[in-house]
Amino acid sequence: MNKGNQKRKIKIVGLSVVGLILVFSIISMIVVKVIYDNQFPRYERHDHTVTASLRYSDLEADYPRRLVTFYSGPNRLKGYVYGLDQNQGLVVVAHGLGGGADSYLPQIRYFVDQGWRVFAYDATGSFDSEGNSTKGFPQSLLDMDAALTYINAQPEFVNLPILLFGHSWGGYAAANILHYEHDIAGVVTVSAPNSAIEMIAEQGRKMMGSLINLQYPYLWLYQRMLFGSVASLHAVEAINNSEAPVLIIHGTEDKTIDYQGSAIMAKIGAITNSNTRTLSPSEPGRRGHDNLFRSYAALAYLDQINSIYRALYESYQQNIPYEVRQEFYSEIDRELVQDVNKELMYEINQFFLESIEGI
């Protein structure tokens, strides 16, 4: 075989390899986009006639609120201000993915009862805010930046120390917002991941196993295309670059954000901010992603009504008529279902009080 033929064969092999890589990359980007976007749909306000959550109408007489709007990018977001005459400090509540501000009415009510003014909001693509989708984890950070920018421009909030309370999606934002220049008196981040890419990779591993390693570069690239440099921010770096007090809370059996995986808590050894504290709920029934907020009475009642609902589900061959579901939920004690873990909320409130001492 002459050298010319060898060179041609090498060139053909090289071009074939490049072509295969290009095709694989194109297919991978398409797959990543489809799967990623499906994980962050729009979430409409829940139908409270078939859920056990608290409704604002249940609280309205005793907890009046003022509605506000502000923009996050092109989308107008809806906000809610509670405790209108209270000046102890302003607690900003950032909700988790799939919910809205009203999903945290039990916590909001608790904060108001302790003397705080509260600012909660529906994030992009959630409940009463605009947005065709929730877009991705970094969107919660962009929304919190927009909320704080709005707050800082309002005369009514001048001289109020700002404290942040975020859960999951919102907890990621509450910690990572310390990368920004907002004046924050204290942060409570609950059940939150350190970074968006770690959380996405962790969820992808649950879906795809070790194959996620092949898709990781495309996940990173797609998220970077959506959010730019914001997608690469890490909570540990934000906390270390700030002097703000931070309380990290994470259930030891969290199956949504792995306690020993993508969680901020898993990186506690890398945190150098001396004003950081941790709390790892480990008591049975209250060490998961969401259940750590409920009292034992609420958890026992939930077990009871879930047992009744399962029997109803089977009796209707797994297809309960809408009217029957409405009747079932109309008889539920919503107050008891949403009774808060007062020990945990006390710890959070004490942390906030200590955070504003001397301000």
How would you list the strands of the sheet with 186-190, edge to edge?
65-72, 75-82, 117-121, 90-94, 162-167, 186-190, 246-249, 276-279
Q: Give the pLDDT confidence score for residue 250 in this predicted structure.
A: 98
Per-residue model confidence (pLDDT) at position 209? 80
Query: Distance (Å, rounded) from C-alpha 156 to C-alpha 158?
Result: 6
Per-residue model confidence (pLDDT) at position 17: 67
Distance CA 198, CA 293 (A): 25
Name the residue among 66, 166, 59, 156 with its Cα closest to residue 113: 59
Would residue 159 be called left, alpha or beta, if left means φ above 0 and alpha means ψ between -120 and 50 degrees?
A: left
Supply the DSSP string of 219-265, one letter for each residue: HHHHHHHHHGGGGG-BHHHHHHT--S-EEEE--TT-TTTTTTTTBGG
Cα–Cα dist 34/40, whole Å: 10
Only one residue has tokens 């990368």, namely 179
Cα gap 185→191, rounded to integer Å: 20
| Residue that is written with structure tokens 């919102």 in the block | 170
Angle ∠(257,96,90) on CA atoms, nearest 5: 120
pLDDT of 4: 65
pLDDT by residue for the chain (359 residues), tens only, comes to 566 667 677 666 666 666 777 776 788 788 889 989 999 999 999 999 999 999 999 999 999 999 999 999 999 999 999 999 999 999 999 999 999 999 999 999 999 999 999 999 999 999 999 999 999 999 999 999 999 999 999 999 999 999 999 999 999 999 999 999 999 999 999 999 999 999 999 988 887 787 778 888 889 999 999 999 999 999 999 999 999 999 999 999 999 999 999 999 999 999 999 999 999 999 999 999 999 999 999 999 999 999 999 999 999 998 999 999 999 999 999 999 999 999 999 999 999 999 999 67
DSSP summary character for residue 156: G
pTM: 0.94
Nearest C-alpha neighbor of 122 from the set 197, 176, 67: 67
315 alpha-carbon distance from chain centroid: 36
Tell me the β-bridge partners of 195. 234
- Given a contact cutoff of 8 angstroms between Cβ atoms, the answer to whether 145 and 124 are in contact is no
The secondary element (H helix, E strand) that includes residue 331 is none
Contact 268, 248 (CB under 8 A): yes
C-alpha angle with apex 85: 81 to 88, nearest 5 degrees?
A: 90
Angle between helices 3-39 and 212-227 (to 10 degrees): 70
Residue type at 157 in one-letter notation: F
**Which phi-psi region, left, alpha or beta, contains residue 104 (left: φ > 0; alpha: ψ -120 to 50)?**
alpha
Radius of gyration of the chain (CA): 23
Alpha carbons 236 and 175: distance in angstroms, whole number: 8
Dihedral angle, C-alpha 40, 44, 49, 53, nearest 10 ° = 60
